[in-house]
Amino acid sequence: MNAGGAGSVQGFRITSEGLKPLSGSYRGLGLKNEKVPLFSSSPGQVAFTPDGWDLVVTTKSANTIEVFPVGRDGLPADEPVVNKSAGMVPFSIAFDKSGRMLVAEAANSTVSTYKVGQDGELETVQEPLPNGQDTQCWLERAGDFFFGGSTGNSTVSGYRQDAQGRLALTNEAGIAAAPSGKSQGVIDLAVAADKFVYVQNATSGTVDVFRVGGTGALTKITTITGLPAFAASGMEGIAAV
């Protein structure tokens, strides 16, 4: 996903020689950003639905979720289906075990749940659920639970889901992990083996490692220090396997 200017997505094919551009897969997003956009106006995230038949893009300042149906050749539709976001400033995307889509919304630190239709239309399963925190941007699934990272006050919130796909906070305070002096500026989350949560703290240049308990509680294992702080190098983004 390219954030600058009108914004765009570009596909790639996995080959024995690495990634190769997928011919004919470039699609514009119709945004109105500067060449180097403000963080608040750039697209939030791009993701395939679990079945691979739709490509989803969140657009923060436009408050839309754009869905490109994907053909058997891997090419997205010429134009996206543009859905109005249930919450303000849609950011990161996650999917539950049934393929429902959850979107974290930064404006009011909320999460909304959707079903993605075959035509690219979204059906709202649950209206925005607030967690009482500040600027939740990141959301990841760990087994039967979801965890969201709020950049504004450096907290991690936990969520559980019932059989109908409705979310609830794992505790009334909305905080599964509170910040510490070494845990400032949550900028991304990653999950490994459905039981370890890694929280990247850009301001302090650290990564917190948590174990997920049977009730969704997080227990800190360690904090990795000495990484480049955000102000110095723009540390942003984490992945785990």
- Per-residue pLDDT of 24-72, as tens digits, reads 999 999 998 888 888 888 999 999 999 999 999 999 999 999 999 999 9
Within a domain: residue 229?
A: yes
The pLDDT, as a whole number, for residue 238 is 94
| Longest distance between any two alpha carbons in the chain, whole Å | 50
Within a domain: residue 143?
A: yes
| 123 pLDDT more than 70 | yes
Segment 171-179 shows an average pLDDT of 93
Within a domain: residue 68?
A: no
What are the backbone angles phi and psi of residue 231, rounded to the nearest 5°?
A: -65, -30
d(C-alpha 163, C-alpha 236), whole Å? 34
Q: Which two tokens stand for residue 166?
A: 């409705």
The range of the structural domain enclosing residue 217 comes to 131-241
The pLDDT, as a whole number, for residue 19 is 96
pLDDT level of residue 168 (50, 70, 90 thresholds): very high
Number of structural domains the chain divides into:
1
CATH of the domain at 203: 2.40.128
Within a domain: residue 33?
A: no
Within a domain: residue 12?
A: no
Within a domain: residue 219?
A: yes
Within a domain: residue 6?
A: no
Closest C-alpha among 117, 108, 92, 135 to residue 238: 92
pTM higher than 0.85, yes or no? yes
Segment 175-200 shows an average pLDDT of 95
Within a domain: residue 228?
A: yes
d(C-alpha 55, C-alpha 80), whole Å? 9
